[in-house]
Structure 1
Amino acid sequence: MKQSFKQSGLAGVFTVLLTLLSACSSGGQGAGSGAKPAAEDPNQAAVRELVVGLSLDTLLEERWKKDRDLFKAAVEKLGAKVDVQAANGDDAKQIAQAENMISKHVDVLVVVPHDAQVSAAIVAKAHQAGVKVISYDRLILNADVDLYVSFDNEKVGELQAEALVSKVPRGNYVLIEGADTDNNAHMFKRGQMKVLQPLVDRGDIQIVYDQFTKEWKPVNALANMKTALAANRDAIDAVIAANDGTAGGVVGALAERRLAGTTPVTGMDAELAAAQRIVEGTQTMTVYKPIRKLAETAAALAVQMAEGKKVSTDKTVFNKKIDVPAILLEPIAVNRTNIDATIIADGFHSREDVYRNVDN
């Protein structure tokens, strides 16, 4: 009995071992015979979603809310997630927010810098963690930026100056530029001066006031324009305002002197208030930068970089340290004659909203 029990027990052990060996052998052969790989096993953990970090200077302006929404929608359509943080003009906060996103292991970081110089710290911290950085619309200076996606910003300045010269080929000009800390503001001005300088040299145009606008704030543009008017006893023939926010400040100052609508004023960004001023006649033009195209282009490239794929460009922009690979889109001049065919036709603003004050 005892011998029979031992034999039976040994047979059971051998049976179990053979079963286990057969199962292992079957599992090993399964990968080559149509069985699902381990990674595809529904019981295994899902592959981690790619995450794109978006660090914004501000969400206090209409323009940047549109960028955020369009960029987020485009990234999510491509199957990735977006972590959005906005510093609202605070450099220390923007750096801290970027560090937070980096610590949460975003796969790529897209930055709209508040201060072009200070934001170099964000690039350095991202690279230490192996995260690539895209400079969105505004160029980060003195940093090893991986990609710059924007518009041809010197062309923006050229379009602004050309619009005014066509109306006022001679006279006193005022330049109300953007924030001195924003590299784009300097690029806009370079473009403006390409058009204006030959006329200044010839004596046709006199630049009687030239000032940057701290933080791009309309209230600061208003103060600058009041100073310009007082210094020149209202003898101002044309005003180049760098964007629609500063244009709003300029028009406000002109309105106080009953000059709104008689002194041409430029802008940029095609904000709704600016579009309304154009149809009312108090702002001459704006520069439309098709933000949907910018956001969707940047989103596609961000996901591509997050996946570890190489991005190639045919342009570079020097940021005082390196020639940054760049994608530069074309801006469009918008005035009373083509506003319907541009920003309204694109669905950027509805016709009802743009013409609300005129139609009523």
Structure 2
Amino acid sequence: MRTCLHRFAIMVAAVSMFVTLAGCGQADQPDVPHRKASDGGFTVGLLFPDNQATRYENFDGPLIEKKIAELCGACSVVDANAQGDVSTQRRQVDTMLVNGVDVLVLDRVDGPSLRRSVQKARDAGVPVIAYDRLADGPVSGYVSFNDYAVGRIQGEALLRGMGRRASGDRIVWLDATVPSSAWSTPRVEGALSVLKGKVDIAEEYTIGSLNEQDSYVAMSAAVVSLGPENVDGVYALNDVIAAGAIAALKNAHVTALPPVVGQDAELSAVQRIVKGEQYMTAYKPYGLQANAAAEMAVALGRGEKPHGISETTVGNATDKGIPAVLLEPVPVTANSIKNTVVKDGVYTVKQICTPKLAEACRKAGLL
């Protein structure tokens, strides 16, 4: 793979974490000095990172709360959203600790920056479950999807969408971590395991803020640099970034849109897939993830170890042997919408197929 022709940083996000998968049976973490393990209820705090994606409000939060209620009728749940700001999330952790939460489920904004907050919770006897993204510090459990597999199925879909017309097709990479950086993640490694040597990452952009506007700016710069006819594919970290990229391509009057891949199965992304604007999204069944997090939270809240729930262990920048549940993602394209997000009850056909999309939905076999 050639080095990129041009690199434009929207916001450099330092990634200081390597995730190491290990088999069960690794050295256990030290026990958390549990603050409360009564027979009654306890409080679980949910901390989400941003409001760019709709998943937290529509799926993760409600599903976790529902499962906790099923497992522990006397338990209560409080939640907060940091709206993409690290300082805000730190304050939210502090507030929850002061208000006496007994377990924290943390989907962090930035891993290294939340390390002291995780340590503060541990010192207070409050176990922390890292949710969706692994945080640094002494976390007591981790619930997410197999990040390597997410990258791999994104890469596979991108190649299918490009049709493998010729070796060396040029793609634009829009991510919080770019391949040429000194750091990597399992997702990036998974994508590169498929794409390396088969495509040219002609432009790569760091979208540290993970919002649609910055993605739009980056994609616009890529189109200017390469020329609108020379973008053969787009690897986007998630569906929010994919939306910005597609908007930029359309604004540049690219009529035959190149395949664009993302992740999270946002409703808007599924609708773009129906319209033929986005090729694929990596669907991560929210119910399975939320249920695992709730089970782990209730176990820790009762003073139990989560090893019966976890299937493996991971390590972060500071700790090893963290009990983990790593679920498998599912690719969603136009041909598989009905058998994935519709079948699982994430969206109804009515939600997806608005009147303006009726014809496209008929072509996709949804109507």
TM-score, normalised to structure 1's length?
0.81
Q: Which residue of 2 aligns with 1:70?
A: 63
Kindly indicate whether residue 207 of structure 2 is the aligned counterpart of residue 213 of structure 1.
yes
- CA gap of 1:60–1:248, structure 2 versus 1, over 3 A, is closer
Q: Displacement, 1:179?
A: 6.7
How many Å separate the matches in 2 of 1:190 and 1:162?
A: 13
How many Å separate the matches in 2 of 1:185 and 1:226?
A: 25
Kindly indicate whether residue 250 of structure 2 is the aligned counterpart of residue 255 of structure 1.
yes
Q: Which residue of 2 aligns with 1:246?
A: 241
- CA gap of 1:317–1:238, structure 2 versus 1, over 3 A, is same
Q: Which residue of 2 aligns with 1:155?
A: 149
SS at match of 1:139: coil
Which one-letter code corresponds to 2:192 in the other structure? M
Residue 314 of structure 2, aligned match among 308, 313, 317: 317
Q: Which residue of 1 aligns with 2:221?
A: 227
How many Å separate the matches in 2 of 1:219 and 1:262?
A: 19
Residue pair 1:261, 1:282 contacting (<8 A) in 2 also: no
How many Å separate the matches in 2 of 1:261 and 1:248?
A: 16
SS at match of 1:266: strand
Q: Displacement, 1:162?
A: 0.4
Which one-letter code corresponds to 2:187 in the other structure? F
| C-alpha distance after superposition, 1:52-107 (max 9, x if no partner) | 11111123421111211111111122221111122211211211111111122222
SS at match of 1:286: strand
Which one-letter code corresponds to 1:148 in the other structure? Y
- Point out the more displaced range, 305-314 or 284-293: 305-314
Q: Displacement, 1:260?
A: 5.2
The structure with the larger Rg is: 1
- Point out the more displaced range, 246-255 or 207-216: 207-216
How many Å separate the matches in 2 of 1:301 and 1:104?
A: 21
Q: Which residue of 2 aligns with 1:188?
A: 187
Pairwise mapping of residues 1-360 of structure 1 onto structure 2 (< 5 A)?
A: 48-65=40-57, 66-78=59-71, 79=73, 80-141=75-136, 143-168=137-162, 169=164, 170=167, 171-178=169-176, 186-199=185-198, 205-234=199-228, 235-259=230-254, 261-312=256-307, 313-323=310-320, 324-356=322-354, 357-359=356-358
Q: Which residue of 1 aligns with 2:11?
A: none
Q: Extract unaligned runs of 5+ from structure 2.
A: 1-37, 360-367
How many Å separate the matches in 2 of 1:69 and 1:60?
A: 17
How many Å separate the matches in 1 of 2:155 and 2:39?
A: 52
Q: Displacement, 1:116?
A: 1.1
SS at match of 1:175: strand
* RMSD across aligned positions (CA): 1.9
How many Å separate the matches in 2 of 1:227 and 1:76?
A: 48
Q: Which residue of 2 aligns with 1:42?
A: none
Residue pair 1:188, 1:242 contacting (<8 A) in 2 also: no
| C-alpha distance after superposition, 1:228-282 (max 9, x if no partner) | 1111112110111111000000100111123255310001111111000101101
| C-alpha distance after superposition, 1:259-306 (max 9, x if no partner) | 255310001111111000101101001010001111111001100110
Higher relative contact order (CA 8 A, sep 6+): 2
How many Å separate the matches in 1 of 2:141 and 2:39?
A: 27
- CA gap of 1:326–1:254, structure 2 versus 1, over 3 A, is same
Q: Extract unaligned runs of 5+ from structure 1.
A: 1-45, 200-204
Paired residue total: 306
SS at match of 1:328: strand
- CA gap of 1:325–1:47, structure 2 versus 1, over 3 A, is closer
How many Å separate the matches in 2 of 1:148 and 1:207?
A: 32
How many Å separate the matches in 2 of 1:185 and 1:290?
A: 25
Which one-letter code corresponds to 1:187 in the other structure? P
Identity of aligned residues (%): 33
